[in-house]
Amino acid sequence: MTEKRPPHPLPLIIIIILVSILGGLFGFWLGGGGYTYYRYARSLANELELIESSYMEEVDPEALLKNAIAGILSTLDPHSYYVTAEDYRQLYEGYQGKYTGIGVSFDLINGIITVISTVEDGPSYKVGIIAGDQIVEVEGHPVVGISRERVILLLRGPKGSRVRVTVRRVGLDQPLHFTIVRDVIPIESIPYAFIISPDVGYLRITRFSQTTSQELNQRLRKLKELGMKKILLDLRSNTGGFLIQAAKVASAFLPSGKKIVSTRGRVDRQAETFVSQDNTPWKDYPLVVLINHGSASASEIVAGALQDWDRGLVVGETSFGKGLVQSQHKLGDGSVLFLTTARYYTPSGRMIQRQYEDFGRYYEEGFFPSSETQPANKELFYTAGGRKVFGGGGITPDEIIPSQPLPQIVADFRIQNLFFSFATLHRSAFQHLKEDFNRFLEEFEIDDGVIRQFIQFLDEQKVDYSAEEFQRHLPLMKLWLKSELASILWDREKGYQVLVTNDPQVGRALQLFPQTSSLINADNQGEDSLN
């Protein structure tokens, strides 16, 4: 005989939330539509209550509700989705531009918290923690083998609070003990900005957060002082972020009054147009923009606007093609519904969004398009200067520069942090190189002696790999070792600079700057030429 449980308040919750979603958000309350959705929601509530009360195993009613909402959204489009309150907090934090903690980038290597880099002038940097340090205790408790989420909970906390950590450092027999005072740590959306050739400033924007436009101007002013006369803007693998920040970034390179992006939905209130506002000092600098298949949403807005106004060349690979606008709707429990309400259009009228009848094919084609030749079956548009561009499937570059996939053996070594671990272990042998990074970048090479040491290290770690594949990809092995040495000796930006300087896409992009002079400057275009 089974125990009869008291009625669960699930039906009322479901009716309230689902009616709000299906009726209110979709705008069907007028003309009796709301009553129809109420009946549907009540029917669904009865079904879920039956599952919750009579299914052969006990179920979580909250999980049932979340899955019901997710199921509804999955019938609409690929980018309408639902997140829990906790997931939303973590998602939003990444775009806030700051958090409070000890200021380290870490990875879990063999279950040990390993410092990859420290934030310059941050709490950990100030007390002397360095890349390669292993955090083995927090507040006297061992932390080897804990989850990434648990690490974040232990190391983050209120500003001014203290945390004691015990660190194991390569080359020292005894552990080190540090007391770190937590502080506000900026999350940079432009982590890399440097002079990549005598007069070209390189900037990598990884996301569009609340601070991106402010970071952009700060970085550009610094690069100008270092001799920047041209700008290479890298938006590769930038999946998007805040629309207003994308508009501000595009504005930094356009004269005032130029349309950047417009949105069009089913109802008038979803139509909006963003126009450049400020006449910035960067509008006359020759510009090349790098994109790839991972560039989506806000990054496509920036690339599309600059391309349409002939402001610079867009090069690389066709972008993802995510041009749907999501409106956020907070539910009573703090969870959030991201509902697609409109589409993005570039200044020339191009729709950024690809077709998505088959969701599986949609994601597959986004990252692995069938062809990287000139696009077929796409609608033709024209830039302000009369150049041909294409709509309805991401942003097609002015010049396609295919990427070079990372060989599997190199990717495996990266995943296992073998380059980083070797560089950490042999840091002292290369300390004399730290005096001059530019000389290191231009002249230092990983020689055969270092490679022999690396092979010995791999054998000691019992790494299974093909010696033939190792030799075939030896130049890349040397490049990644040099990059990790730069990260250990200086910082992550220097390590990244080693890689980018040897990136074939970047190399070709730098060769294209002479062609930017042939573009019709946006200043010479009529304000209505793309309207």
* CB 305 within 8 Å of CB 229: no
Burial class (CB in 10 A: 0-12, 13-18, 19+), 135: buried
Q: For the chain, which residues score pLDDT lower than 70?
A: 1-38, 40, 93-94, 366-377, 520-529, 531
- Here the tokens at position 243 are 């629309």
Give per-residue pLDDT as tens, 287-311: 999 999 999 999 999 999 999 999 9
297 is catalytic: yes
pLDDT value, residue 87: 77
pLDDT value, residue 369: 61
- C-beta neighbour count of 138 within 10 angstroms: 18
370 is catalytic: no
pLDDT value, residue 36: 61
pLDDT value, residue 26: 45
pLDDT value, residue 474: 97
Contacts of 89 by beta carbon, 8 Å cutoff, 6+ apart? none
Contacts of 93 by beta carbon, 8 Å cutoff, 6+ apart? 99
For the entire predicted model, the pTM comes to 0.84
Query: Domains in the chain and their CATH numbers?
Result: 10-75 (no CATH), 98-186 (2.30.42.10), 192-404+517-524 (3.90.226.10), 408-510 (no CATH)
322 is catalytic: yes
- Here the tokens at position 232 are 């290479």
Give per-residue pLDDT as tens, 188-201: 999 999 999 999 99
Select which of 183, 308, 398, 503 is catalytic. 308
- Here the tokens at position 514 are 């002479």
- Here the tokens at position 328 are 């956020």
Select which of 189, 262, 295, 297 is catalytic. 297
* CB 481 within 8 Å of CB 446: yes
pLDDT value, residue 4: 40
Q: What three-state secondary structure class fits 74?
A: coil
Give per-residue pLDDT as tens, 154-176: 999 899 999 999 999 988 889 99
